[in-house]
Amino acid sequence: MRDLFTLITERVLRDCGGEPICAHVGDIQVCAIKNHPTYQVLREKVRLGRSKSVASLRLWESVSTLARESDQQEREKWLMILLDLLTPHFDGWSKELARKWHYEVSDIRSAMMEGALEAWFSMAGGTPSRKLLDTMMTRAFTSARGLVEAGRSETCAASTEYLIADAVHEEDSTLRASSIIDASTVRDPDSDERIRGERTGALLQRMGAMGHAKTLHGKLRSGCRDDADAPAITPTQVGRSWVNGKNLYYRISDLLPQYIGFSEAANIVGLSESQASRLAGKGLLSFRVLWIGNSRVVSVKSLMRILGIQDSIVHPDDVENGATHVGGE
């Protein structure tokens, strides 16, 4: 019988597609480690039970960070992976409980996963990864015991897929292009967009970074970007794509490195590396950490959110116009 554990594993295997997976920073292309296993191989090596290895705990921390800090679509993928990494350690216990209480093992596993998800969504984003793991496991076991000790042996008539659908929704959705403009204060959104892009170009020109921006613009115009990576645009913005049929809009963060070192991130928020390390151990650090081997990195987008820097959407034409004006061309 296909229970919730099986459905989660099947979904993760389908999403990963048998290709190498990077559980350090989420993107093999920017990861410092060159050799990456498939998900099946990675899953077999993870030990999150009583004998937790340092490597497994670091992997857990990176995956939990990716499940919190990635964009909406990637968060869903990494949350499913996070849950699937727990199922091998729930498997035997759920079978034992089912035999002891004459209960359907599928119901027990659904209760365990529901408890784990309740812990995930109820805990603060800065919770230490070890505490998050212990709490999710404890809540899973408590939820299963509560089910069997209540003396109800019914089997849920609804499909277990509904838990997967509910598991991947968080309140903090990604920013949409239409929400950048405050309609109550800006009379002409199109003008606001062009001004925003020109100011960005002017700043890049003063910083000497316009060459990097033009390289990105060239890639966009030549169609070297996957459409899935392009930001969503409003019906008004679609008009600017009519001539060449391309969505050339991009986010400011596309010009920045995806990750920076832990020490650099600490300095940006006014902390020394040792201070940030102590705060991370207590779960009080304002940003989350990803592990690459023995090194720590931090998502630039995560820092931008913490510092209140808006990841605005701009058009290459506007950015280049602003740079040209400042450069006196």
pLDDT in tens, 305-320: 888 888 888 999 999 9
- Per DSSP, the three-state class of 251 is strand
pLDDT at 10 over 80: yes
164 falls in which pLDDT band (50, 70, 90)?
very low
**Contact (Cβ atoms closer than 8 angstroms) between residue 14 and residue 164:** no
pLDDT at 157 over 80: no
pTM over 0.85: no
pLDDT digits (tens, 9 = 90+) for 226-257: 777 788 777 777 767 655 667 888 999 999 98
214 falls in which pLDDT band (50, 70, 90)?
very high
Percent of the chain with pLDDT over 70: 84
**Secondary structure element (H or E) that encloses residue 244, with its range:** none
328: left (phi over 0), alpha (psi -120 to 50) or beta: left
Tell me whether residue 146 is exposed, middle or buried, using C-beta atoms within 10 angstroms of its C-beta: 0 to 12, 13 to 18, 19 or more.
exposed
pLDDT at 162 over 60: no
329 falls in which pLDDT band (50, 70, 90)?
low
**Contact (Cβ atoms closer than 8 angstroms) between residue 61 and residue 48:** no
- Per DSSP, the three-state class of 300 is helix
pLDDT digits (tens, 9 = 90+) for 66-120: 998 888 778 889 999 999 999 988 888 888 888 888 888 889 999 999 999 999 9
pLDDT at 151 over 80: no
Tell me whether residue 66 is exposed, middle or buried, using C-beta atoms within 10 angstroms of its C-beta: 0 to 12, 13 to 18, 19 or more.
buried
Nearest alpha-carbon partner for 69 in 82, 85, 56: 82
Q: Mean pLDDT score of the chain, rounded to an integer?
A: 80
Please name the amino acid found at residue 31. Answer: C
Q: Where are the domains of the chain?
A: 4-167, 178-329
pLDDT at 159 over 60: no
Which is more confidently placed, 168 or 94? 94
